[in-house]
Structure 1
Amino acid sequence: MSPPSHTVAVQHIYEQHHSWLHGWLKGKLHNACDAADVAHDTFVRILGGRHAAQIVEPRDYLATIARGLVIDRYRRHAIEQAYKQTLADRPEATAISEEDKAIIIETLVAVDKALSGLGERARQIFILSHIDGLTYQQIADQLQVSLTTVKKHMIRALTECSLIMASL
């Protein structure tokens, strides 16, 4: 599809369904500003694609994209809160610039995204290694798997994290 016809299709979907999407999101999020942000991001996502003219059920399509964006928003909020709580729980006052905080949160969100794409075992092994500080052998013993299995899952987890981090 040529870019002009894609843009025209997005414009048509926007004109026909933006109000509905915003209202639907307001009902889900209970906040008009957040609903407006997610509605905007939904149309930005569609505009970034190349197949708007092929969308048969625009409201279903918009709702699916918006649901994913809302989930991402909640996940990011949970990560930010956990980070803030971790800082508050530290005994010494740590001065971190707003820029560094933003970078740390973006990194945490990216790692969370990478880990959510892994299987349960790989995610568990990564957490045991990087959060709990266990050696590969200790992980193998605890999970009753071979050392080779632990290494294989760690390579996969680290590869996913690297790919996500490279895209930032």
Structure 2
Amino acid sequence: MAPEPTSTPGFDQFYQEHHEWLVRWIARRTSGFDNAQDLAQDTFIRLLDRPSLPAGIRSPRAWLTKVAGNLLIDQARRQVLEKNYLALLENLPEPECPSPEDKWELLGLLEQIDQLLAGLRPIEKTVFLMARLDGLTYREIAEQQGLSLSSVEKYIAKAMLKCYAAVYENE
């Protein structure tokens, strides 16, 4: 069993000075106070993963808003992904509809794919997914997207390189 992370006096003070402000900042940008509380906690957890940070942050509120803003973007991306996935499932005939457990697992896989492809431009993601998920040829993708064949090849190569790096980065 892993030991519980211990906080430091610097972190405790940092948390006390900025937590309430951060919750208010997030609450103004999101729906619900509970969600703001959760995102603020996630923001401070990121800080706990980097123990030398509290003393080294020159602009604490700027750092907190950047991290919290990134978490808000991640949350919004997840909500869009989940909404689109659930809309797709609604159109499936009942015998083909996955079980709740399978839905949950598939949503997790979709999130992993989305995180894996983070950093790619939307057109690069779209082209890659059209090739890999829809099974379209590069020429079909180029025609549907109004792109040159060489652009499609370049986008798919960039996405595949990102996937390769994610798989083999720890080796």
SS in 2 for 1:29: coil
User: CA–CA distance in 1 between the matches of 2:66 and 2:99?
Assistant: 36
TM-score (norm 1): 0.78
Q: Structure 1 unaligned runs (5+)?
A: none
CA deviations 1:79-127 (Å, max 9, x no partner) are 1111111110112344534443232112212222333312455334313
Q: Aligned partner of 1:83: which letter?
A: Y
Which of 81, 106, 112 is equivalent to 2:83?
A: 81
Q: Aligned partner of 2:148: which letter?
A: Q
Task: Assess, with a 3 A threshold, how the Cα gap between structure 1 residues 163 and 101 changes in structure 2: closer, same or farther.
Answer: farther
Tell me by how many angstroms 1:30 deviates: 3.2
SS in 1 for 2:21: helix
User: CA–CA distance in 2 between the matches of 1:44 and 1:17?
Assistant: 13
User: CA–CA distance in 2 between the matches of 1:95 and 1:123?
Assistant: 26
Task: Assess, with a 3 A threshold, how the Cα gap between structure 1 residues 23 and 57 changes in structure 2: closer, same or farther.
Answer: same
Aligned twin of 1:14: 15
Contact between 1:22 and 1:35, CA under 8 Å: does it hold in 2?
A: yes
User: CA–CA distance in 1 between the matches of 2:127 and 2:47?
Assistant: 36
Q: Aligned partner of 1:33: which letter?
A: D
Deviates more, 1:48-57 or 1:122-131: 122-131
CA deviations 1:53-74 (Å, max 9, x no partner) are 1101111111111011011111
Aligned twin of 1:41: 42
Q: Aligned partner of 2:14: which letter?
A: I
TM-score (norm 2): 0.77
Task: Assess, with a 3 A threshold, how the Cα gap between structure 1 residues 32 and 61 changes in structure 2: closer, same or farther.
Answer: same
Alignment RMSD (CA, Å): 2.8
User: CA–CA distance in 2 between the matches of 1:99 and 1:163?
Assistant: 30
Q: Aligned partner of 1:143: which letter?
A: L
SS in 1 for 2:29: helix
Percent of paired sites with the same residue: 34
> Is 1:144 aligned with 2:148?
yes
**Residue pairs, 1:80-99, within 5 angstroms:** 80-99=82-101
Aligned twin of 1:23: 24
SS in 1 for 2:93: coil
Q: Structure 2 unaligned runs (5+)?
A: none
Contact between 2:23 and 2:40, CA under 8 Å: does it hold in 1?
A: yes
> Is 1:112 aligned with 2:120?
no
Tell me by how many angstroms 1:43 deviates: 0.2
Larger RCO of the pair (alpha carbons < 8 Å, separation 6+): 1
User: CA–CA distance in 2 between the matches of 1:11 and 1:68?
Assistant: 23
Contact between 1:114 and 1:157, CA under 8 Å: does it hold in 2?
A: no
